[in-house]
Structure 1
């Protein structure tokens, strides 16, 4: 299957899943796909391959709880990508882990 055929199949799949889940107007499919692919690549290469889809799921759950899920998903994806990029470093992480007790 060529790259173009893969892209078409992926686009059709995302559209079908979005429709099935009632998310047609909730996400911009092209930018969302790119964001998720970048995020999962960062996690797969920096942390763990099996951790990539689990991380995408967790971000989806967290974003779904936000007032603006699309904005939250982009924000969370950026934060988690940075976390994954520095995951194996011997130095301290640039940003502290999210402290759940600090949440209101």
Structure 2
């Protein structure tokens, strides 16, 4: 991982922490300015916050790949797993 990639990763993780996102079950990798997220968050609200942060990620990131699941969410029928958000997005597509 290059110095730039490491800086992007650390800045993103700090933003997650400031936003209250639990990153203990997430893998965050940056290689060649492509940010990849894999893992789980404990609540849908945290996944939505995560997407908001991804939309504002460092302008040096040229592509974002996210495979993030909500571990368990209470529903009327009990606990359920939500599907992973696995749509690669480009910062240019979001207007960043």
Task: Please tell me the TM-score bracket, short chain as reference.
Answer: 0.3 to 0.5
Report which of the two structures shows the higher radius of gyration computed on alpha carbons. Answer: 1
The TM-score, its normalising length taken from structure 1, stands at: 0.31
Q: Which one has a larger percent strand, Structure 1 or Structure 2?
A: 2
- Tell me which protein shows more helix as a share of its residues: 1
TM-score scaled by length of structure 2 = 0.33
